[in-house]
Amino acid sequence: MKTQHLAPHVGHRYRHGAWLAGGLATALVLLLSVTSGDAGAAPVVRGSDAEALRLLRDAGGSVRATHYEGTQFITTWSDTGGDKRATTSLVRVTHTPGQGTYIEVRRTTADASRGTYEPDSTGARGGLTGFTPKMLDLMVRNYAVVQAGEDSVCGRPARVVEARRPDGSPAGRFWIDRDTGLMLHRELLDGQGRAVSITGFYDIRIGRPKPQIHEVQTVATPWGRELAAADLGLLRRDGWTVPNSLPGRLELYDARQADQGGIVHLVYSDGLSAVSLFIQRGELDERRFARWRKIDTGGRTVYEHNALRRWAVWDSDEYVYTVLADAPQGTADAVIAALPHGGPGFWGRLGRGLKRLGSWLNPFE
Amino acid sequence: MSHLGDRLTALVDGELDHDERDRVLAHLAGCAECRAEADAQRRLKQRLRSLGDAAPSPQLLTSLYAMGEPGGPIPPRARSMPGAAKPPVVARPTARRPARAGGQGGSGPARRGLKSGLESGVGGGGGHGAGPGHDLAPGRGKAGRRLPRMRYLAVGAATFAVFGIGTAGFVAGGDNGQLPRVAPALDQFAVEHALTSGDVPITDRDPAEEVTSRP
Name the 3-class secondary structure at B168.
helix
End-to-end Cα spacing for chain B: 145
The answer to whether residues B11 and B62 belong to one domain is no
- Full DSSP string of A283-312: EE-GGGGTTSEEEEETTEEEEEEESSSEEE
| Inter-chain touch B183–A218, beta carbons under 8 Å | no
Percent of the residues in chain B that have a pLDDT greater than 90, as a whole number: 1
Residue B85 has pLDDT above 70, yes or no: no
Q: What residues 233-262 of chain A have any CB closer than 8 A to a CB of chain B?
A: 254, 256
The answer to the question of residue B196 being in a domain is: no
Length of chain B: 215
Residue A106 has a pLDDT of: 74
Could you say which of B166, B193, B197 has the minimum Cβ distance to residue A135?
B197
Q: What is the DSSP code (8-state) at residue A14? A: H
Fold identical between A50-219 and A225-361? no
End-to-end Cα spacing for chain A: 66
| Inter-chain touch A130–B197, beta carbons under 8 Å | yes
Closest CA to A333 of A290, A291, A279, A293: A293
Q: How many CB atoms lie within 10 A of CB B65?
A: 12
Q: Enumerate long-range contacts of A285-290, CB under 8 Å, 24 or more apart.
A: A285/B181, A285/B182, A285/B183, A288/B183, A289/A313
Q: List chain B residues with CB under 8 Å of A284.
A: 181-183
CATH node for A50-219: 2.50.20
Residue pair A272/A172 in contact (Cβ under 8 Å)? The answer is: yes
Distance CA A215, CA B153 (A): 79
Could you say which of B172, B195, B197 has the minimum Cβ distance to residue A122?
B195
| Inter-chain touch A309–B209, beta carbons under 8 Å | no
Q: Is beta strand A115-119 parallel, antiparallel or unpaired with respect to A216-219?
A: parallel
Task: Count how many pairs of residues, chain A against chain B, have C-beta atoms within 8 Å.
Answer: 182
pLDDT top residue among B21 and B83: B21
Distance CA A248, CA A269 (A): 9
The answer to whether residues B36 and B63 belong to one domain is no
The answer to whether residues B14 and B103 belong to one domain is no
Is A225-361 a CATH 2.60.40 domain? no
B45 is in which domain, residue-wise?
6-52
Which amino acid does the sequence have at A333?
D
Could you say which of B166, B201, B212 has the minimum Cβ distance to residue A118?
B201
The answer to the question of residue B144 being in a domain is: yes
pLDDT tens column, A51-73 = 999 999 998 888 778 899 999 99
Name the 3-class secondary structure at A353.
helix
Q: Residue A302's Cα: distance from chain center in Å? A: 20
The answer to whether residues B99 and B149 belong to one domain is yes
pLDDT bin (cut points 50, 70, 90) of residue B145 is low
Cite the DSSP H helix spans in chain A: 2-34, 50-65, 133-142, 229-237, 329-338, 345-361
A74 burial via Cβ count (<10 Å: 0-12, 13-18, 19+): buried
Please give the tally of structural domains in chain B: 2
pLDDT bin (cut points 50, 70, 90) of residue B95 is very low
Name the 3-class secondary structure at B198.
coil
- Residue A197's DSSP bridge partners are A76, A188
Which sign, positive or negative, has the C-alpha torsion A279, A285, A288, A293? positive
Question: Which residue of B191, B193, B209, B213 is the best one to mutate when testing the A interface, meaning the one whose CB has the most A CBs within 10 A?
Answer: B193
**Which residues of chain B are at the A interface, by a Cβ-Cβ cutoff of 8 Å?**
165-166, 168-174, 176, 179-184, 186, 189-204, 207, 209-215
pLDDT bin (cut points 50, 70, 90) of residue B125 is very low
The answer to the question of residue B21 being in a domain is: yes
CB proximity list for A32: less than 8 A, separation 6 or greater = none
The answer to the question of residue B185 being in a domain is: no
A33 burial via Cβ count (<10 Å: 0-12, 13-18, 19+): exposed
Q: How many CB atoms lie within 10 A of CB B33?
A: 11
The answer to whether residues B19 and B41 belong to one domain is yes
Q: How far is B156 from chain A (nearest CA, A)?
A: 22
Residue pair B123/B54 in contact (Cβ under 8 Å)? The answer is: no
Distance CA A135, CA A267 (A): 10
Residue B49 has a pLDDT of: 77
pLDDT bin (cut points 50, 70, 90) of residue B137 is very low
The answer to whether residues B62 and B46 belong to one domain is no
Regions in chain A scoring below 50 on pLDDT = 1-12, 29-40, 108-111
CB proximity list for B88: less than 8 A, separation 6 or greater = B129
Closest CA to A76 of A171, A178, A190: A190
Q: Which of B120, B141, B156 is the last residue of a domain?
A: B156
Phi and psi at residue B154, to the nearest 5°: -65, -45
CA-nearest residue to A135 within chain B is B197
Residue pair A223/A276 in contact (Cβ under 8 Å)? The answer is: no
pLDDT top residue among B121 and A265: A265
Residue pair A170/A51 in contact (Cβ under 8 Å)? The answer is: no
Q: How far is B163 from chain A (nearest CA, A)?
A: 12
Distance CA B143, CA B140 (A): 5
Q: Is beta strand A283-284 parallel, antiparallel or unpaired with respect to B181-182?
A: parallel
Least confident range of A48-52, A218-222, B38-42, B142-146? B142-146
Could you say which of B179, B203, B213 has the minimum Cβ distance to residue A86?
B213
Distance CA A268, CA A261 (A): 22
Which sign, positive or negative, has the C-alpha torsion B11, B14, B19, B20? negative
Residue B91 has a pLDDT of: 46
Could you say which of A135, A265, A311 has the minimum Cβ distance to residue B192?
A265
- Residue A312's DSSP bridge partners are A304, A323
The answer to whether residues B27 and B116 belong to one domain is no
Q: List chain A residues with CB under 8 Å of B166.
A: 350
The answer to the question of residue B82 being in a domain is: no
Spell out the domain ranges in chain A.
Answer: 50-219, 225-361
The answer to whether residues B59 and B36 belong to one domain is no
Q: List chain A residues with CB under 8 Å of B191.
A: 116, 218, 220
Closest CA to A301 of A311, A314, A289, A290: A314
CA-nearest residue to A122 within chain B is B195
Question: Which residue of A174, A187, A218 is the best one to mutate when testing the B interface, meaning the one whose CB has the most B CBs within 10 A?
Answer: A218
Rg of chain A over all Cα atoms, to the nearest angstrom: 26
The answer to the question of residue B18 being in a domain is: yes
The answer to whether residues B98 and B130 belong to one domain is yes
The answer to whether residues B64 and B122 belong to one domain is yes
Residue B158 has pLDDT above 80, yes or no: yes
pLDDT top residue among B33 and B131: B33
The answer to the question of residue B183 being in a domain is: no
The answer to whether residues B63 and B117 belong to one domain is yes
| Inter-chain touch A86–B209, beta carbons under 8 Å | no
Q: What residues 39-78 of chain A have any CB closer than 8 A to a CB of chain B?
A: 72, 74
Residue pair A118/A100 in contact (Cβ under 8 Å)? The answer is: yes
Residue pair A281/A308 in contact (Cβ under 8 Å)? The answer is: no
pLDDT tens column, A203-256 = 999 988 777 666 666 666 788 889 999 999 999 998 899 999 999 999 999 999
Partner B contacted by A80 (CB < 8 A): no
Distance CA B107, CA B112 (A): 15
Could you say which of A85, A280, A344 has the minimum Cβ distance to residue B182?
A280
The answer to the question of residue B125 being in a domain is: yes
The answer to whether residues B104 and B18 belong to one domain is no
Residue B5 has pLDDT above 70, yes or no: yes
- Residue A79's DSSP bridge partners are A84
